[in-house]
Structure 1
Amino acid sequence: MTKEHTSPQTDKKTLKVTERAVGGPMPGRPGGGMVGQKAHDFKPSARRVLGLMRPERALVVLVVVLAAGAATLNALGPKILGRATDLIFEGVVGRRLPAGATQDQVVEGLRRQGDEQQADLLSGMQHLVPGQGVDFAAVREVLLLVVGLYVLYALVAFAQGYLINEVVQRTIYRLRSDVEDKVHRLPLEYFDRQPRGELLSRVTNDIDNLAQSLQQTMSQLLSSLLMLVAVLSMMFWISPTLALVALVSVPVSVVATSQVMKRSKDQFISQWRTTGRLNSHIEESFSGHALVKVFGRRDEVLREFDEHNATLYDASFRAQFVSGLVMPILMFVGNLNYVVVAVIGGLKVAGGSISLGDAQAFIQYTRQFGQPLTQIASMANLLQSGVASAERVFELLDAEEQVPDRADPSSLPVGGRGEVRFEHVAFSYDPEHPLIDDLSLVARPGETVAIVGPTGAGKTTLVNLVMRFYEVQGGRITLDGVDVASLPRSELRSRIGMVLQDTWLFGGTIRDNIAYGRPGATEEEILEAARATFVDRFVHSLPDGYDTVLDEEGTNLSAGEKQLLTIARAFLADPALLILDEATSSVDTRTELLVQHAMASLRQDRTSFVIAHRLSTIRDADLILVMEDGRIVEQGTHEQLLAAKGAYDRLYQSQFAAAVA
């Protein structure tokens, strides 16, 4: 499409230059914000992420139930194993005691001998039988119970992991669908002002990062929280005193984690914004690879890439380093807590307050108690990174959409021939710089209306308004007597065929690319369109003919051949209104002559708008409009305008007279 200096298409380069100067997307632009800026608060964004899983709430409830069951089963293991330890220890001690005496008699005898510590130790044993050794049958039963418990835990944990994966993947599936739908509801203005690489980064990298973060945090965070509750309950059951001692580490861990998270959040936001800018630069330099080579800007592109890459390295390093401090800090606090609990627990065993098995179980619980805290803290960096990506996706989802179609839309008359009327139309991209003001014209069926004028005059803007890529700000445009603003966009655009200066082909065969103009077209109709637009002439020189597979850029075709394909696509669509925006600019003179003959038959009985800079291509137009600064300054046929010696004559002379001289 022809780029005009008053349109945001050309401002894109200026915006990118400004971005490089300020170090980030410009404030006020869609998805903008300076690097490191807090786009949203953490809590609202996190709640919105959780809200995405609302349709899966039944599965989420089941996951919570399974996670609670798994945590309970896992927490019971050490307590039951402690029973096995007690059986072995009491058996070893009981064998050394005189047979026939009771536990109370042995304890009383030790107290009379003044051995209070030994007496306290024996009094704390619940199943001591003097003279009896280890009850291996009871130990075997305990061990089998523990094995069964852990097998059941593994099955429950497997089911939990499977359901979590189901929940996350369904959620991300819906999110991707929502983003895809949103992209189709955004106005053209959004894409004009948004770097393509930045948009692609939001749609791909940020969604993938959010999926990974949800997958890991949902599984480990939920399990860790429930495990923390289960382990804490078991610790209070065994010894409230030791449990309170162990809890001293919690506020220390919370304070340390919150301080680290506070500093890492900004770093993760910076990391993902920098990733978007790097992707934008890569997409731009790869798309314009030939121009980079032609103008010898390779070193500049590499230098700019190195700058973005270095910025991303610094942001990523800082984010990972700061968030990585959580684990060492928590491990240090956990080890100190372990030492204190082990010492106090040993003293309680010696005093008979708790059994050796309970002490062993409590020390194991201390380790298990620290593990969920460590996992929760380690999830903090993933959570921060995921929420930072979610914020960027939400910015896209919250972007202002195009004006929706009316609730009671009109419809075009059957058999309409494409009469277009501009009635006092006004439009501007910037309110301070009016572009089109009080423009009126009529394009009748069967007429070819050529639009010429200097760059920035508003030629492409005119057809953008007809297509409703932009909405008029004054007056109205009618198609076959119906205001286009009252029509559904799909119905309006189904009556219009458009051939742009910039060709667009998708990955697929040549046949598929032509058939894109009208789904359901027969093979004969496709071939007829190809023959009419002289595509058939070069297709047979290709190895696979119409089955030749094109890449997305169509690099295996010349520029002129790609242009012919887009013309064939429009020919197949058989539209009531045809728009040609410099459609023959990429073909050679002989091919241009052939295409003009094809277009002559295509334009029969339908309205055609032709935007052209080469005036030789529009000499036969029924009406030529000369535009300057958004206004029609002249109109008439080629001969009439030359005879008037006005703006058209000056344009014509600038193209041909100088060449002759």
Structure 2
Amino acid sequence: MSTEKRLARYALTSKGTILFALFMLSIAVAAELTGPFIAKTIIDRHISGIEQPWYETEPNDQAVYYDGAYYTREVYVPEHLEKGSEVQILQIGTSFYFLNQPLPLDGERSFDDGVLTIDTSNQVHQAAAIPLSAAEVLDFYSPEIQSIINWLALYLGIVVVASFFRYGQNFYLKKAAHRIIQRMRVDVFAQLSRVPVRFFDHQPAGKIVARITNDTEAVRELYMTVLATFFSSSIYIFGIYIALFLLDVRLAAITLILLPILFVWFKLYRKFAAGLNRKIRAKNADINASMNENVQGMGIIQAFAQEKSQEAAFNKLNEEHYHFQSKLLRLNSLTSHNLTFVLKNLVFVALIWWISGGTAGLITLGVLYAFVDYVNRLFEPVNQIINQLANLEQARAAGTRVFELMDEAGTEVSDEEIPRPRGEVTFTNVQFSYKEGEPVIKDLSFQAKPGDTVALVGHTGSGKSSIMNVLFRFYDPQEGTTKIDGIDTKTVSPQALRAHMGIVLQEPYLFSGTIASNIAYGRPLATREEIEEAIRLVGGENVFSKFKKGIDEEVTEKGSTLSSGQRQLISFARALIANPAILVLDEATSSIDTETELLIQQGLETLKQNRTTFVIAHRLSTIRDADQILVLDKGEILEKGTHEQLLQADGTYAQMYRLQQGQAS
């Protein structure tokens, strides 16, 4: 499905709000577009209307007294009054003249020596005329004043109504946009829970964050600004064209040439801008990834004095981003206002040619004024649409990147629950590789009985962590089976399995919050007493009591304000309170000092009770009590047995142990 269709599907999730906003917008546009029609009416009926026929009548509310008689405009003569002789008032420049006989309105006018002349293309018409003073002109306009005031009051009321509906459509369109993006961000975040761990192995965190924040923000602009502008401008253009055709069909037809020009421009702009916007979004994600990497590793960067080299690498990314931005800027600068300015002048030239050539026929001043006003208004929404094309393409490129993430293959987070297993783990002929043709586990078979402690030892790259990745179903093996209590793990949802599994890493990950919230992370409903008991069992009671707020002490991201030993104690307590049936200790004591290690040895023994424990260890002295030790090399088991059995075998394990003991001495 195309990006446009998927964006439209998200828009349909708030279709009720959007349709209501468009309804309010239509009313606002209709109200606003009455302005030129009201102006036309005032000009033609009440200002230029003074040149319409006047008749001598009896006195009445609309009659004007002049030179001993009363005169009333034809449109105001009551039906019961008898019309007298017809008279006329004509304007030349700023002067007005009274005529006792009517003359044609169309033609070139002149006044000389008491005679007013109208020269049409075919004939010259003349009549005696009397110049009117300013006061007399105002008298003849007096019947129109109240009507003009009424029209202006009506227009003011319409403007107030239009502003109310404009506010409503703006509010509801933006409300819909915020709701749509809220749903999209929830969906994107939920997708992160569904995608397999291997996805994160190949994607820098900064790039993923950029998709969830920057790219969705660009899509938000699409719904809140771009589409709002397109909707309002399109309705505005549609309304203006209706008004233009109501005024004069022939003149309105000239302006239709604007539509194919805009369509062609829209297609051409998308063709050139789409690629640039995709490159800009990609470079923006690279910059975010670089920033994230530099912030996370600033200590290492400064320790190795690599500030300049990192700055140079970042500047290169920034320069590439600037290069593509400059190209897009040139494209936008060549268009936008320049295009509408040219089109606007072309339309006006065509109109002037059409009118001045006489082809358009007789046009009143009011129609001409309203037509020019509507044409001017027509280019406001046109300009707004063209100015939003850049944002539209940016949003499309951002939407494509967001949907690429959402299209990553994954499994739904399951609510399935299974009884707590006894903890029997069986690997049968398991073969696994991260890359095709490069196996890291080869035909591996072993069994861990419930309550056993199984130690995995071996050099870096021997497959220890990969075995745990398969056990936790972060990855599934290409061949062989992994069973817990005789049940193939592939037949059970990963979430149901992991609910009964716990892990303590060499570098524990802590979340922003408190010490207590981090301990209860795997079991949020744990009571305060249970949290404190878990701390006591792992030997951390005295350690955390030194904090001012105790276990309510704030923890920053990753727990950077705590020592490695304190972080590890929290990790042990977190695993204990979750009460897993299967526990993995991934070199859990390798990064802490000897004093802290001695402190938590009792806690470790408590942690191992009544659960199957897998220990990944480099220090062999910590696994002497293991029920089974697996010695690995390149994904295969070289030796297995207890500590004593392996020493007696005098193989690889014995050699490693003696080497470490020698180093220790």
1:552 is the counterpart of 2:530? no
Change (3 A) 1:340 1:529: same
1:176 is the counterpart of 2:161? no
Equivalence for 2:214 = 205
Provide the rounded CA distance (Å) in 2 between the counterparts of 1:257 and 1:561. 61
Provide the rounded CA distance (Å) in 2 between the counterparts of 1:109 and 1:513. 90
The one-letter code of the counterpart of 2:572 is I
* Match among 83, 100, 107 for residue 103 of structure 2: 107
- TM-score of the aligned structures, taking structure 1 as reference length: 0.86
Equivalence for 2:110 = none
1:71 is the counterpart of 2:29? yes
- Aligned-pair CA distance for 1:284: 0.7
- Structure with bigger strand share is 2
- Aligned-pair CA distance for 1:346: 6.2
SS in 2 for 1:429: strand
CA contact (8 A) 1:110 1:119 kept: no
Deviations 1:215-264 (A, max 9, x none): 00222110111111111111122122222333334434443443333222
CA contact (8 A) 1:242 1:341 kept: no
* Match among 376, 382, 392 for residue 385 of structure 2: 376
Query: Which protein shows a greater Rg?
Result: 2
Change (3 A) 1:351 1:647: closer
1:85 is the counterpart of 2:81? no
Provide the rounded CA distance (Å) in 1 between the counterparts of 2:381 and 2:396. 21
Provide the rounded CA distance (Å) in 2 between the counterparts of 1:46 and 1:517. 40
- Aligned-pair CA distance for 1:403: 8.0
* Match among 571, 575, 579 for residue 574 of structure 1: 579
CA contact (8 A) 1:501 1:584 kept: yes
- Equivalent residues in 2 for 1:417-496, closer than 5 Å: 417-496=422-501
The one-letter code of the counterpart of 2:157 is G
Change (3 A) 1:117 1:362: farther
Provide the rounded CA distance (Å) in 2 between the counterparts of 1:109 and 1:186. 80
Provide the rounded CA distance (Å) in 2 between the counterparts of 1:63 and 1:110. 47
- Equivalent residues in 2 for 1:600-615, closer than 5 Å: 600-615=605-620
Provide the rounded CA distance (Å) in 1 between the counterparts of 2:125 and 2:463. 96
CA contact (8 A) 2:53 2:102 kept: no
Deviations 1:36-80 (A, max 9, x none): xxxx9xxx2122201112222233322332222222222222111
1:52 is the counterpart of 2:56? no
Provide the rounded CA distance (Å) in 2 between the counterparts of 1:291 and 1:622. 40
Deviations 1:265-322 (A, max 9, x none): 2111111110100000110111111111111211111111111112222222322332
Deviations 1:143-174 (A, max 9, x none): 11211222221112122112212221221111
Provide the rounded CA distance (Å) in 2 between the counterparts of 1:114 and 1:303. 81
- Structure with bigger helix share is 1
Equivalence for 1:333 = 342
- Aligned-pair CA distance for 1:374: 1.2
Provide the rounded CA distance (Å) in 2 between the counterparts of 1:453 and 1:497. 22
The one-letter code of the counterpart of 2:597 is E
- Equivalent residues in 2 for 1:635-654, closer than 5 Å: 635-654=640-659
Tell which deviates more after alignment, 327-336 or 604-613: 327-336
* Match among 297, 322, 327 for residue 306 of structure 2: 297
SS in 1 for 2:639: strand
Change (3 A) 1:133 1:172: same
Aligned positions, number: 608
- Aligned-pair CA distance for 1:347: 3.7
- Equivalent residues in 2 for 1:19-418, closer than 5 Å: 44-90=2-48, 93=51, 100-101=85-86, 106-108=102-104, 115-116=119-120, 132-133=140-141, 135-337=144-346, 339-340=348-349, 343-344=352-353, 347=356, 353-402=362-411, 411-412=418-419, 416-418=421-423
Tell which deviates more after alignment, 89-98 or 567-576: 89-98
Tell which deviates more after alignment, 239-248 or 560-569: 239-248
Q: Return the structure number with greater relative CO, CA threshold 8 A, min gap 6.
A: 1
User: Mind listing any 5+ residue stretches in structure 1 that lack a counterpart?
Assistant: 1-39, 123-129
- Aligned-pair CA distance for 1:632: 0.8
Change (3 A) 1:108 1:204: closer
SS in 2 for 1:455: coil
Provide the rounded CA distance (Å) in 1 between the counterparts of 2:222 and 2:489. 46
- Aligned-pair CA distance for 1:191: 0.8
| Structural RMSD (CA) | 3.0
CA contact (8 A) 2:538 2:606 kept: no
Change (3 A) 1:153 1:349: farther
- Aligned-pair CA distance for 1:117: 7.1
The one-letter code of the counterpart of 1:179 is V
SS in 2 for 1:454: coil
Tell which deviates more after alignment, 530-539 or 443-452: 530-539
Change (3 A) 1:611 1:517: same
Deviations 1:21-42 (A, max 9, x none): xxxxxxxxxxxxxxxxxxx9xx
Provide the rounded CA distance (Å) in 1 between the counterparts of 2:539 and 2:424. 29
Provide the rounded CA distance (Å) in 1 between the counterparts of 2:516 and 2:125. 90
Equivalence for 2:132 = none
SS in 2 for 1:133: helix
- Aligned-pair CA distance for 1:110: 8.5
Tell which deviates more after alignment, 136-145 or 88-97: 88-97
SS in 1 for 2:435: coil
Provide the rounded CA distance (Å) in 2 between the counterparts of 1:118 and 1:619. 122
